[in-house]
């Protein structure tokens, strides 16, 4: 394992001073770069004012209000409310509860090769049979859960009047960056509307600019009923959010009166960090540069004979090597060469490139030279 002493921009450094390109960004967390001065300043200022004062929702706290208002201005379609939580897994838990509470139904549907977190409900939504490797030892899990194939038009018939909610990543991350068929995504939206099921998009990895749009769903012009946010949503701090329409979220206000209780959800320091990161993305037009930067990685690396395929959405890339042994060896070479990468839960034949969105073109060029050199050593 590599020990981290400090991190800045697109890099982190060991106690001995060795520099590593960070091509994971905490799994799409550090979108504005490590130790971003705007985020650091916001965290320090808010920590000096106050940190935790009360269970979320019991008092008016300005960082929560300001961040919620700013996010609401950017949300697609008729989404207009956000409920803050601690993490992506908690956001998924809340979304599943919300679907059952709002519809009065019990069936939940996810996609095969999906990952939504490791808490009890989120783990239940890891698709079968592939997810059994991760969840089998923790059964029994949630009842009345089934999975369908991502991008399968035929499987949409499995969504019926019994279905409370359908949970879906817009781009499947841990399956190895699998992009949606735009027509299928629209058909999924139409089917959920037809039978009265809530469509829940997991934008935990893809949200906050990772795919070249603030939210990946906006690239396909498909608006869910519920959206789960986390990772980069906190600007490097632990924060999640459940986004929906007020009409839907209001179902948590009665029977019971407290539909979801979270002590640290919407922590003021985390909200201050998230808001500072969002404002940085917007004021510096970071998201507008993401597609070109992703294309630059693809252009530099697609010609190497070891790279069999590149799957990409913005600055979320999977480079397919075809064999697990090639991947594992490359990870060791990367450590020697000063690159931190990773693979995917359901795809151990491809490596991940998901750097901070602030990575420069010069850094991309240098990084790609090192990747080429590393691939040559396979």
Contact 52, 268 (CB under 8 A): yes
Q: Give Cβ neighbours of residue 90 (< 8 Å, ≥ 6 apart).
A: 117, 119, 240, 262, 265
Residue 257's pLDDT is what? 85
pLDDT tens string, the chain, 378 residues long: the values are 899 999 999 999 999 999 999 999 999 999 999 999 999 999 999 999 999 999 888 889 999 999 999 999 999 999 999 999 999 999 999 999 999 999 999 999 999 999 999 999 999 999 888 989 899 999 999 999 999 999 999 999 999 999 999 999 999 999 999 999 999 999 999 999 999 999 999 999 999 999 999 999 999 999 999 999 999 999 999 999 999 999 999 999 988 888 999 999 999 999 999 999 999 999 999 999 999 999 999 999 999 999 999 999 999 999 999 999 999 999 999 999 999 999 999 999 999 999 999 999 999 999 999 999 999 999
What are the extents of the domains in the chain? 6-31+286-376, 39-283
Q: How many CB atoms lie within 10 A of CB 283?
A: 9
Residue 203's pLDDT is what? 98
Residue 1's pLDDT is what? 87
Give the CATH class of 6-31+286-376. Answer: alpha beta
Name the strands in the sheet holding 6-8, side by side, starting at the edge strand that comes first in the sequence. 6-8, 11-13, 19-22, 339-340
> How many angstroms separate the CA atoms of 202 and 242, rounded?
10
Q: Closest Cα to residue 286, out of 336, 237, 235?
A: 235
Contact 312, 64 (CB under 8 A): no
Q: Closest Cα to residue 72, out of 222, 279, 243?
A: 243
Give the CATH class of 39-283. Answer: alpha beta
For 320-377, give the DSSP string: E-S-HHHHHHHHHHHHHHTEE---BTTBTTEEEE---TT--HHHHHHHHHHHHHHHHT
Contact 244, 72 (CB under 8 A): no
Residue 56's pLDDT is what? 84
């Amino acid at each position: 394992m590599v020990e981290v002493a400090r991190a800045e921009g697109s890099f982190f450094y060991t106690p001995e001073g060795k520099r590593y390109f960070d091509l994971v960004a905490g799994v799409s967390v550090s979108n504005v770069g490590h130790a971003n001065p705007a985020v650091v300043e916001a965290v320090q200022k808010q920590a000096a004012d106050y940190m935790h004062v009360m269970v979320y929702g019991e008092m008016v706290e300005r960082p929560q209000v300001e961040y919620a208002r700013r996010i609401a201005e950017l949300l697609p379609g008729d989404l207009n409310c956000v409920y803050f939580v601690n993490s992506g897994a908690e956001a998924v838990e809340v979304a599943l509860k919300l679907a059952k509470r709002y519809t009065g139904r019990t069936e939940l549907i996810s996609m095969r090769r999906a990952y939504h977190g490791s808490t009890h409900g989120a783990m239940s939504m890891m698709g079968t049979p592939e997810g059994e490797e991760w969840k089998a030892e923790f059964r029994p899990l949630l009842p009345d859960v089934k999975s369908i194939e991502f991008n399968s038009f035929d499987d949409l018939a499995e969504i019926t009047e019994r279905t409370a909610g359908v949970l879906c990543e817009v781009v499947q991350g841990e399956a190895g960056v699998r992009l949606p068929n735009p027509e299928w995504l629209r058909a999924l939206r139409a089917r959920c509307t037809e039978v009265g099921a809530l469509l829940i998009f997991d934008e935990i990895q893809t949200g906050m600019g990772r795919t070249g749009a603030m939210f990946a769903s906006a690239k396909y012009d498909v608006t869910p009923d519920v959206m789960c946010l986390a990772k980069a949503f906190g600007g490097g701090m632990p924060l999640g959010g459940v986004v929906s329409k007020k009409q839907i979220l209001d179902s948590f206000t009665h029977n019971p009166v407290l539909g979801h209780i979270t002590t640290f959800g919407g922590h003021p320091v985390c909200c201050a960090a998230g808001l500072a990161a969002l404002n940085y993305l917007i004021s510096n037009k970071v998201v507008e540069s993401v597609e070109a930067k992703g294309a630059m990685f693809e252009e530099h690396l697609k010609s190497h004979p070891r790279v069999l395929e590149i799957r990409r959405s913005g600055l979320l890339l999977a480079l397919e090597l075809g064999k697990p042994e090639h991947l594992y060896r490359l990870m060791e070479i990367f450590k020697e060469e000063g690159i931190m990468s990773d693979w995917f839960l359901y795809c151990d034949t491809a490596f991940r490139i998901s750097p901070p969105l602030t990575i420069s073109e010069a850094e991309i060029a240098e990084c790609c030279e090192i990747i080429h050199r590393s691939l040559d050593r396979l």
